[in-house]
Chains A and B, each alone.
Chain A
């Protein structure tokens, strides 16, 4: 019996236009045009390639750890997977996606934690009824343990408190696809333990999970599959142990290269 495909990435690339780095504002455009009109008018075709033509499938029950050095395109890829940026090359086969990128998010800093949680619930769970939303809010506030701080403005919160509130809301409903980009850290040890249990239950209830972390231990703890990204390509896709080994050997290689440069 074949497992349900949660999403499919086919010949997916991410490119940056170099033009937008040269011209960050209208003044740059003006200055570049006046100082060198000919080369300005010549259409820039240089594009910086981040991910080059990658393809993979994720099945139900997969907990995929994405590994790779900084700037390799892990977070960009996850933003596309989460549907924050649309792409025709990614086919998602399910109803809802839960994604966590920055845990330090506050939508309206002047409003209270409770109100921010309400806004977040409106944004994330558009299909819920108002009774369900109220239930989610109550449960999330309870889980976050921020207590009376729920009714004080978010701009008085510490990073950890913001993370507590945000993570509690985001992980309150099960999803077909869960994307977790560096979610651990920032919160204190007590909440992290509690949150880890919640994530484990969440993962069990969910269709598939994609996780990004630089902490190999975290990947080991949660994932059953790894994808290693390097040099714009998928360098490895498969079981946990060989993936981690591949990633670690890669990192040392970079260290050696930089030592040679010195």
Chain B
């Protein structure tokens, strides 16, 4: 186990080195996209569409950053096992390691972009960041990481069998953005459409961030965290079953 963790960190290091072209400028290039998305959406929804949510940039940040991590990972990592075909067939390496290195990369981007905007808002808005809020944000980040890691592992595995999964994922992620309470809050939706948000598996992962950082609410956080935990467990079981049952077929199809 210790060897595995060491290996995944070393691979993540080299993967990031390769992606950032070994420079800080390369890294800034990578985190520029979540930050720009944030700025544009904050301006559009606040000034043009006149969404009346208090501290709107802060609200948007708590939803948009986890969403960005989820969608970027889903979109870019789904094809990673097929793209690493030569490596998978040439060297003894568990596919999970390849997925893991890329998730760590995306996770690192997410943490930095999140921190950068948080600090900027903190300085300009004098937001209060109490210890209680920070205490809830840590498990939220952890469960989000586990969710992304297990679902991307599942998608990347099945992408070897059905090669258009990547495009379907991209298409669905674009749609899902609008039915997840990211740039609007859930209570703006008419009661008869509330079910759309509640069956959306991404909702709890966004809500735990809103419940902890934006409008601190321990009860709601606990409910959403439990939902998130159940979703992670289901995805984890599906992923494990796929790898165990279809391992041989995977290597033929990849």
Query: Considering the complex, which residues of chain A in the window 79-105 have a beta carbon less than 8 Å from any beta carbon of chain B?
Result: 79, 82-87, 97, 99, 101-102, 104-105
Tell me the nearest residue of chain B to A86, going by C-beta. Answer: B247
A142 within 8 A of B: no
Q: How far is the CA of A79 from the CA of B250 in the complex (A)?
A: 13
Q: Is the CB of A79 within 8 A of B251?
A: yes
Q: Is the CB of B14 within 8 A of A20?
A: no
Q: Is the CB of A82 within 8 A of B14?
A: no
With A115-B14, A119-B14 known to touch, is A105 a contact of B87 (CB < 8 Å)? yes
B227 within 8 A of A: no
Q: How far is the CA of A101 from the CA of B86 in the complex (A)?
A: 9
Tell me the nearest residue of chain A to B165, going by C-beta. Answer: A26
Query: Considering the complex, which residues of chain A in the window 15-44 have a beta carbon less than 8 Å from any beta carbon of chain B?
Result: 16-17, 20, 23-27, 29
A110 within 8 A of B: yes
B125 within 8 A of A: no
Q: Which residues from A are CB-within-8-Å of B249? A: 16-17, 20
Q: Is the CB of B91 within 8 A of A120?
A: yes
B128 within 8 A of A: no
B11 within 8 A of A: yes
A2 within 8 A of B: no
Q: Is the CB of A79 within 8 A of B247?
A: no
Q: Which residues from B are CB-within-8-Å of A16? A: 249, 252
Query: Considering the complex, which residues of chain B in the window 1-40 have a beta carbon less than 8 Å from any beta carbon of chain A?
Result: 3, 7, 10-11, 14-15, 17-18, 21
Q: Is the CB of B162 within 8 A of A123?
A: no
What total of A-B pairs shows CB separation below 8 Å?
78
Partner of B247, one of A85, A101, A105, A107: A85
Q: Is the CB of A24 within 8 A of B92?
A: no
Partner of A122, one of B7, B89, B161, B251: B7
Could you say which interface size class chain A belongs to? 35 or more
Query: Considering the complex, which residues of chain A in the window 125-155 have a beta carbon less than 8 Å from any beta carbon of chain B?
Result: 126-127
Q: Is the CB of B18 within 8 A of A85?
A: no
Q: Which residues from B are CB-within-8-Å of A120? A: 91
A56 within 8 A of B: no
Q: Is the CB of B162 within 8 A of A24?
A: yes
Q: Is the CB of B17 within 8 A of A99?
A: no
Q: Is the CB of A25 within 8 A of B14?
A: no
Min C-beta distance of A241 to chain B, whole Å: 32
Tell me the nearest residue of chain B to A97, going by C-beta. Answer: B92
Min C-beta distance of A20 to chain B, whole Å: 6
B248 within 8 A of A: yes
B90 within 8 A of A: yes
B135 within 8 A of A: no
With A24-B162, A107-B87 known to touch, is A122 a contact of B11 (CB < 8 Å)? yes
With A16-B252, A110-B21, A122-B7 known to touch, is A99 a contact of B14 (CB < 8 Å)? no
B164 within 8 A of A: yes
Q: Which residues from B are CB-within-8-Å of A17? A: 249
Q: Is the CB of A105 within 8 A of B11?
A: no
Q: How far is the CA of A122 from the CA of B7 in the complex (A)?
A: 7
Q: Is the CB of B92 within 8 A of A26?
A: no
Q: Is the CB of A85 within 8 A of B21?
A: no
Query: Considering the complex, which residues of chain B in the window 72-93 have a beta carbon less than 8 Å from any beta carbon of chain A?
Result: 86-93
Q: How far is the CA of A108 from the CA of B20 in the complex (A)?
A: 12
Q: Is the CB of B252 within 8 A of A124?
A: no
Q: How far is the CA of A133 from the CA of B88 in the complex (A)?
A: 22
Q: How far is the CA of A79 from the CA of B93 in the complex (A)?
A: 12
Q: How far is the CA of A16 from the CA of B249 in the complex (A)?
A: 7
Partner of A20, one of B87, B92, B161: B161
Other than the given A25-B164, A84-B92, A85-B248, 9 more pairs (CB < 8 A) read A16-B249, A20-B161, A82-B92, A84-B91, A104-B86, A108-B17, A110-B21, A124-B91, A127-B3
For this complex, 5 residue pairs linking A to B, each with C-beta atoms less than 8 Å apart, are A20-B253, A24-B162, A79-B89, A111-B18, A126-B7
| Interface of B toward A, CB cutoff 8 Å | 3, 7, 10-11, 14-15, 17-18, 21, 86-93, 161-165, 168, 247-249, 251-253
| Interface of A toward B, CB cutoff 8 Å | 14, 16-17, 20, 23-27, 29, 79, 82-87, 97, 99, 101-102, 104-105, 107-108, 110-111, 115, 118-120, 122-124, 126-127
